[in-house]
């Protein structure tokens, strides 16, 4: 579908898209994390494929590993962190909603100054 998109924390690629969904494969490098953020127009379902992570959802932190999943409701503040110092974290993200543009990301904290 789409080329691999490089980010300071890892990569993502869009696997499939439709009117009310967007499907991505996301890889987070060891020790890295995307921004603490929320969305106004979409929810997300994360399925952990490989690795271990810490998920912050509305200020509460929980640990997850392969074959577990997380639901992020519309408007919930969220972040995922790769807790490994050597292995990539790989997860599949299913976005559902009415809009999937990158401009629906409201960053609250970011390690990379974005």
| pLDDT beyond 70 at 14 | yes
Q: How many residues in total does the chain contain? A: 114
Domains and CATH numbers, the chain: 5-106 (2.60.120.10)
Round the average pLDDT of the chain to a whole number and report it. 96
pLDDT digits (tens, 9 = 90+) for 35-47: 999 999 999 999 9
Amino acid 1: pLDDT: 55
Give dist(CA 90, CA 97) in Å, integer: 23
pLDDT digits (tens, 9 = 90+) for 48-88: 999 999 999 999 999 999 999 999 999 999 999 999 999 99
pTM score: 0.94
Give dist(CA 46, CA 94) in Å, integer: 7
Give dist(CA 66, CA 53) in Å, integer: 9
Q: Distance of CA 77 to CAs 4, 39, 56, 85, Å?
A: 25, 8, 8, 25
């Amino acid at each position: 579908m789409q080329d691999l998109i490089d980010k300071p924390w890892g990569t993502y690629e869009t696997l499939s898209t439709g009117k009310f969904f967007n499907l991505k494969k996301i890889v987070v490098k060891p020790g890295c994390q995307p921004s603490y953020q929320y969305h106004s127009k979409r929810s997300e379902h994360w399925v952990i494929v490989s690795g271990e992570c810490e998920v912050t959802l509305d200020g509460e932190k929980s640990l997850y590993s392969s074959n577990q999943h997380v639901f992020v409701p519309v408007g919930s503040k969220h972040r995922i962190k790769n807790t490994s110092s050597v292995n990539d974290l790989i997860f599949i993200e299913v976005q559902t909603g009415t809009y999937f543009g990158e401009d629906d990301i409201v960053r609250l904290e970011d390690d990379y100054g974005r």
